[in-house]
Amino acid sequence: MDFPLYAPAEEHDMLRETIRALADEKIAPRAAETDETEEFPWDVYKALVAADLHAVHVPEEYGGAGADALATVIVIEEVARACASSSLIPAVNKLGTVPLLLSASADLKARYLAPVARGDAMFSYALSEGEAGSDAAAMRTRAVLDGDHYVLNGTKMWITNAGVSEYYTLMAVTDPSAGARGISAFVVEKADEGVSFGPKERKLGIKGSPTRQVILENVRIPASRMIGDPGTGFKTALATLDHTRITIAAQALGIAQGALDYAIGYVKERKQFGRPIADFQGLQFMVADMAMKLEAARQLTYHAAAKSELAMHGQPQRDLTFLSSAAKCAASDAAMEITTDAVQLLGGYGYTRDFPVERMMRDAKITQIYEGTNQIQRMVMARQLLK
């Protein structure tokens, strides 16, 4: 795979123009309403499907666009610039399907990746539980072998796009005596008997993306729906996050870029003391710092994406775990700072819902929390450095 490690190629720049035009036309005008109503934006999903941008990472052999990891980052980044909730469509489709790409049988890949590529189904990822968040290996959801089927019982929590996704990559304990090595991964379908969903969580941000419990009550599924071998589920989960933390970094970059762009436009127009507030050096320094932090995080994220792409094509990258954690942590911390400063630059207006930056600030917060809190990311990075 020959593409520059740090800089997007010409086709990446063309992709950015395409997705930005779509986002400006179809997604940004709906973002405030999506946040207010807390409804999943099905029209945005349809627009992304029509443009083949809803799951660009799915390989061509399953009917997907076959986009590389950097292209996927750019798509998520540009959608998030307009609407963070909508950016979870391509991001979570990747999160749910990477375990299959890494570990599933050929039959399972063909069966479940093709409908995602067509836009007939979305894929979510069910790892966390109420008592197993940062300590995901402490999960209690059980899968018991019964003939050629497994019977699943338990409750998964904080599941993004739960209820709107048709398919779920779900981790469950198959051997309680083996700790993390007793966890296996399965594909569970929304239509499986015994699958239900908790009420929507009432959240600070990303309100257009439902976050719900996935409840399993004697859910009986064919053993052929196990992803990889028994006991390899947790290993697959960790390997998946090496690739998908980069998509959270992308989301953070997009949210931050949206806030920076809006704030720059505002300070050039807003007048105080008889001149645009952009003339004041104190505010100029704020804008400079915002842009500097954003660009540093972007370069780190793109570098991590390039490493992710090599790793997905059978070229192991020893520093991928460090880089993906670093990108996620740096980009989300930057997004929180940049969106907070954008609210400050707009003053009283920034604090109102009539302007988009307060929404962006609320949306940015989750990027420091999900797919591993930034405290966990720092532990992961330290372990990689010190081992």
Longest dimension (CA), the chain: 80
**What is residue 68's three-state secondary structure?**
coil
Mean pLDDT, residues 342-347: 98
CA distance 93 to 133: 21
208-264, pLDDT tens digit by residue? 999 999 999 999 999 999 999 999 999 999 999 999 999 999 999 999 999 999 999
- Look over the chain and give the mean of its residue pLDDT values, rounded to a whole number: 97
pLDDT of 1 > 50? The answer is no
User: How is the chain split into domains, by residue range?
Assistant: 10-118, 123-231, 234-386
Joined together, the tokens standing for residue 346 give 């707009």
Residues tagged active-site: 371
Strands 167-173 and 123-126: parallel
Q: Which fold does the domain 10-118 belong to in CATH?
A: Butyryl-Coa Dehydrogenase, subunit A; domain 1 (1.10.540)
Joined together, the tokens standing for residue 337 give 């700072």
Q: Which fold does the domain 234-386 belong to in CATH?
A: Butyryl-CoA Dehydrogenase, subunit A; domain 3 (1.20.140)
46-81, pLDDT tens digit by residue? 999 999 999 999 999 999 999 999 999 999 999 999
CA distance 6 to 72: 15
Mean pLDDT, residues 279-308: 98
CA distance 2 to 68: 11
Query: Any alpha helices (H) in 52-128, and if so which ranges?
Result: 69-82, 84-103, 106-118
Q: Which fold does the domain 123-231 belong to in CATH?
A: Butyryl-CoA Dehydrogenase, subunit A; domain 2 (2.40.110)
Mean pLDDT, residues 263-287: 98
